[in-house]
Structure 1
Amino acid sequence: MKKYFTILMMSVLVAIGSAAKAQLVKQNSKVEEQKQSNRDWYNCSFEKDGVYGVGVNEAYEFLKGKKAKAKPIVALIGTGIDTEHEALKANIWKNPKEKADGKDNDKNGYVDDVNGWNFIGGKDGQVMPFVNREGEREFLRLKDKYGDIMKDGGKFYTFVSGKREECAAPENMEEYNYFNSVIRGESRLLQAYGAINSVYNSRYYMGLFDREVRAVSLKKTGFTVEDVVKMCSPKTAEDPTSRGIMIAALQMRAHMMKNDEWERNRDAFLSETYLADQKKKYEQAVARYGNDGRQAIVGDNYLDINDRAYGNNVLLTADAAIGTMIAGVIAGQRDVEGRNNPIAEQARIMTLVVEAGAGEPYLKDMALAIRYAVEHGASVVVLPQQNSLYPEVQKQWISEAIRYAEQKGVLVIVPVHEMSRDMSEETFFPNRWMDGGKELTNLMTVGMSDKEGMPSANSNFGAKELDIYAPGIKVLSACTGDIYQYGNGVPMASAMVAGVAALIKTYYPKLTGSQIRDILLQTVTSRKGVELEKNVTRGGKNAVDLYLFEQLCLSGGIVNALEAVKAADKLSK
């Protein structure tokens, strides 16, 4: 998730040294005695407390005397959660038509989905330990069609028993180019597999150079790399073959080894050990990234959106700490000593598991989870972080699911990545324009900010592509096992926005997701005009540039619960 890495950027580490150890257990009295602006700062405001929180405390002051009209459901699509946590168990969504009796009481295809569903679980209760990246899945899907076909000049070749043979051009050139450009940048498997083909190609060219230099020279031995470069380099700069690349590789090796002997450099490229090393690296990559257990554990066809009868109801997963912390920010009882103060007391948390360990969620799971959430009454849906690779058909599944949520008045929230990417230059999904039609009005992108109101230095950004910032650094929340921890990460920021949206739905349930998105954008704590340094990555190079806050996101500010509920109150009248 993401361009080249997508481990969920979430940490439950807190500070440095001994302080960190104390915060990995239940909070002690010293933590409980801290000022709220330190311990529970995200509920505070700059005007009242001097920190750039969300202003939830003041929002509740405004709402005093007003009747809560709904218990909005917030669907967390991601990891599992601890549904028995003391701070959450009263706020866990319960499927009103389902019982834990081993039957599909509500006939929705999911047995015992009392509190949600796990889309990466098996019928025997197992849960996938990790999920592959999308790039690895795409490589495995297309490997047999294109993995062994190389283009050199205007012709296509394969290597049979190490010998290069010309072959027909692929029938689907668009898909072939997709495999060798987009997938190559996203798949460690393809990079490792491509290295084997590169060895075969370099062996072919070294043999060709050897024959060419001996054909035009009177010498039989004692050739230098310089001799080969002079005799075998491309005749023109426009030569479309790999010849120039192989000449450059030869020169680079000779320079690095400080040895200009042709035969010695040639033999290094022809070495069986060199080839064996690349094959071993590929085998290691396959062992690590090639099989996430989907077929054995889940057993569905992940490329068939109509194959829906899979998964289980296991919600307390190995990665439940992350989901529990997100849920703890959104929902639960406020003003309980020793705990954090959640944003929306009346909200109910629905858990839909699509993530495990490292990797990127299957898009089919995400699409079905969105639809499950909408069909079971969710008002707010929180997705995992964006991804830079959405295969076309599966991208349509996601866009149709979000469009369905839009039609039903559901707000969909997605956190951006911590990759320092300018999203006006690099596309990440989901986004509001992903289906090529009318802009999705219910999709909200979120980045994280700190107490000082400054965005994360590494957050992805875009004046149109990123909607809003929210607190996401050193946030206290519930964690698995009835403890409380501080956490950092963009998912925490998305929880802030989801919490404020749920608070609005609690008192103004008729407002739609699209209306709430507009309200949140229009009522931010403005940071326009603030100049700041921001990390940015372009073309693989890292730099630090100066930006105005409004150049980083559409709203130019940080989510503000007080102003949002005021605007919702006005609009609802």
Structure 2
Amino acid sequence: MKKYVITLIVSVFVAISGAVNAQLVKQKTKVEEKNQVDRDWYNCSFEKDGVYGACVNEAYEFLKGKKVKARPIVALIGTGIDTEHEGLKANIWKNKKEKADGKDNDKNGYVDDVNGWNFIGGKDGQVMPFVMREGEREFLRFKDKYGDVVRDGDIYYSFATGKKEIFTPENAEEFNYYRQCVYKESRLAQAMSTKWMDHVSADYTRLFDKEVRAKYPNKEKITVADVIEVCAPSKDDTSIRGMILYGIQIVANTRRTDDWESIYKIFVAESRFTDGQQKYDRTYAKYGNDGRQAIVGDNYLDINDRVYGNNVLLTADAAIGTMIAGVIVGQRGVEGRNNPIADQAEIMTLVVQAGEGEPYLKDMALAIRYAVDHGASVIMLPQQNSLYPEEQKQWMSEAIRYAEGKGALVIVPVHELSRDLNENIFFPNRWMDGGKEFTNLMTVGMSGKDGMPSANSNFGSKELDIFAPGMKLFSTCTGDTYQFGNGVPMAAATVAGVAALIKTYYPKLTGGQIRDILLKTVTSRKGIELEKNVQREGKKYVDLYLFDQLCLSAGIVNALEAVKVADEWSK
């Protein structure tokens, strides 16, 4: 009950702004001001270069003279990319069974999927401009059931046709999911709750006025202190009476007045109700419709409705995917460019994300299966999420398990939210299907040249696998350009590149085996003490941690040691 009351206080009296998770940011650093070592630090090592890179250059020295045995396919599930970029086009995956002729040559349901597929595109060539957050999608799914329901102690009220008492919701588990999970993740749910709570607080304010005047019928000037004294709830009162009184006290203190009449007018003013409705309308206009039905036209809640999308890969936010791809593949040793990690690998592009929002789980599940069915051995997902609806979580679990059975490694970057993953569950994770943990799912955090993790990285001694270079990485960008960029996806791309390098020379190793190798061969940072941001219950703290408290491997990905072990294992 305590958490519920606190949530309602926040919804009524505090303007809530959605968290912005800028996962990848291009830098304005001029290319000509950086030398080749600066561009390639993520390939370097501490022993030779004094920076905590991924030891890729030394890995190539070890591999010199060894036979290239495969061109592994890395599937990037996220934004589009520039497939014609000079540094990438030789490493773009081509579907050998498909032609760009307007026909579905390979009979997989996707017309002209020559280099990949766009799951948020329409038949007319349009692409969704953004995707909603999962919380907003879930709010819209449950809005007509629970959006207008307010719980006050043991009583439930509906505001659908004016305030009226209703029976306990038939599906208590579903209602609690909406209140505790969807509400937390949805700006729309919060805006609607605020709107109805304005009405509830007005009702209580009128009741308080009636009670205090009954107590002091002849008092000329009623004070806020009088109201607090007369109307205070009993200890066993589970209603939100006390919360409303607390809110009244906050407003009175803020306005530096004890005059009840002026505070009363604020809480019962018609303008509050109008403002609440207008705020909800503005929130809905901004976040309530991403155009999926009009553009894509599928049923996103039906996993069997799988034939949709288009083959448009150069999207409005393709710069992100292009930078990620450039860390992984391309030609090494070209002056002025970056040196990618796996020069023989190929990039398959599967679009599920458009800049803002959180990808549809159906799109990601189908994209994973597409990648596996078309030969991808390394798959990179765009992000973790704190909200996975149960049925859709099963789709993702089954897709990752399918990839595991086919020997594919699945990599996902963690968020920059300063959350302890032992206390906050994010998906996908290795335990999400309730059975045996996934052996092929790898979570990645971002580190810098100094070998230190990002101050805001999510962390967990079991839940986060490994750190990797992701700060100020030089890579390909749209239009044959090159940029420096920061972001956890760049760190995940570093790990994907190392995994692809291993698959190039040791293709028989499975995704689970490669994950084991990468975890066992890190540049160890065990015992290193550092300051780290951590966020708990909405408050951010700075605390001291050992590196081994932050991730399972207690270190940074090391390509040299990884290929050495891969070489031994393959023998």
TM range (shorter): over 0.9
1:571 maps to what in 2? 569
Instruction: Please name the residue that 2:207 is paired with.
Output: 208
1:11 matched residue in structure 2: 25
Give, as a single letter, the amino acid of the residue that structure 2 aligns with 1:478: T
How far residue 153 of structure 1 moved from its aligned partner, in angstroms, is 1.7
What are the residue-to-residue correspondences of 1:157-556 with 2, within 5 Å? 157-159=157-159, 162=162, 164-219=163-218, 222-234=221-233, 236-556=234-554
TM-aligned CA deviation for residue 256 of structure 1? 1.9
The answer to whether the 8 Å contact 1:8/1:385 transfers is: no
CA distance in 1 between counterparts of 2:173 and 2:68 reads 55
What is the CA-CA distance between 1:227 and the residue it aligns to? 2.3
Displacement after TM superposition at 1:78 (Å): 0.3
Aligned to 1:75: 75
1:77 CA drift (Å): 0.2
Shift of 1:161: 5.5
**Would the aligned equivalents of 1:505 and 1:511 in 2 still touch at CA under 8 Å?**
yes
Residue 338 of structure 1 and its aligned partner are, at CA, apart by 1.2
Say which is worse superposed, 166-175 or 512-521, in terms of deviation.
Answer: 166-175
Kindly state the Cα deviation for residue 121 of structure 1 after the two structures are TM-superposed.
0.5
> Residue 214 of structure 1: CA displacement?
3.1
CA distance in 2, matches of 1:245, 1:374: 53
Tell me how far apart the structure 1 counterparts of residues 78 and 510 of structure 2 sit (CA, whole Å): 23
Q: Which amino acid aligns with 2:519?
A: L
Local SS of the residue matching 1:117 = strand
Deviating more after overlay: 527-536 vs 3-12:
3-12
d(CA) in 2 for partners of 1:77, 1:373: 9
TM superposition shift of 1:563: 0.7
Shift of 1:8: 4.4
Give how far 1:181 is off. Answer: 1.3
Residue 110 of structure 1 corresponds to which residue in structure 2? 110
2:97 corresponding residue in structure 1: 97
The amino acid of 1:190's aligned partner reads: A
The 2-side partners of 1:180 and 1:393 are apart by: 18
Name the residue aligned to 1:155: 155
TM-score w.r.t. the length of structure 2 is: 0.95
2:19 partner letter: F
C-alpha distance in structure 2 between counterparts of 1:220 and 1:566, whole Å:
87
Q: Structure 1 residues 160 and 458, CA, compared in 2 at 3 Å: closer, same or farther? A: closer
Equivalences for residues 124-135 of structure 1 within 5 A: 124-135=124-135
Say whether the 8 Å CA contact 2:21–2:416 is kept in structure 1. Answer: no
Give 5+ residue unaligned stretches, structure 1.
Answer: 15-19
SS at match of 2:412: strand
1:72–1:378 contact (8 Å) kept in structure 2: yes
Paired position in structure 2 for 1:60: 60
Checking the alignment, whether the CA contact within 8 Å between 1:6 and 1:358 is kept in structure 2 is no
* Deviations, residues 427-482 of structure 1 (Å, cap 9, x unaligned): 11100001110010000000111111111111111110110111001111111000
Aligned to 1:41: 41
Instruction: Find the residue that maps to 2:192 and give its secondary structure.
Output: helix
Asked if structure 1 preserves the Cα contact closer than 8 Å seen for 2:18 and 2:187, the reply is: no
Deviation at 1:259, TM superposition (A): 2.4
SS of the residue aligned with 1:194? helix
Query: What is the CA–CA distance in structure 2 between the aligned matches of 1:527 and 1:369, rounded to whole Å?
Result: 35
Identify the residue that residue 17 of structure 1 maps to in structure 2: none
Q: Is the 8 A contact 2:148 2:160 kept in 1?
A: no
> What residue ranges of structure 2 are gaps of 5+ in the alignment?
1-16
Alpha carbons 1:6, 1:360 under 8 Å: kept:
no
Q: How far apart in 2 are the matches of 1:218 and 1:65?
A: 98
Q: In 1, distance between residues paired with 2:343 and 2:160?
A: 66
One-letter identity of the residue aligned with 1:50: G
Q: Could you tell me how far 1:39 is from its partner in structure 2?
A: 2.1
User: Are residues 151 and 494 of structure 1, via their aligned partners in 2, closer, same or farther at CA, if it must alter by over 3 Å?
Assistant: same
Shift of residue 425, structure 1, vs aligned partner: 0.8
For the 8 Å contact 2:517–2:562, the answer to whether it is kept is yes
TM-aligned CA deviation for residue 255 of structure 1: 2.0
Amino acid at match of 1:128: M
Q: CA deviation at 1:7?
A: 3.7
Give how far 1:217 is off: 3.4
State the Cα distance separating 1:4 from its structure 2 match.
5.6
| Structure-2 change in CA distance of 1:97 and 1:160 (3 Å) | closer
Q: Does the 8 Å CA contact 2:397/2:433 hold for their aligned counterparts?
A: yes
2:508 aligned partner, one-letter code: K
Aligned to 1:140: 140
Q: Deviations over 1:182-219 (max 9, x none)?
A: 11111111111111111110111112222223334332
- Distance in 2, matches of 1:43 and 1:539, equals 38
Tell me the number of residue pairs that the alignment of Structure 1 and Structure 2 aligns.
555
Tell me by how many angstroms 1:96 deviates.
0.8
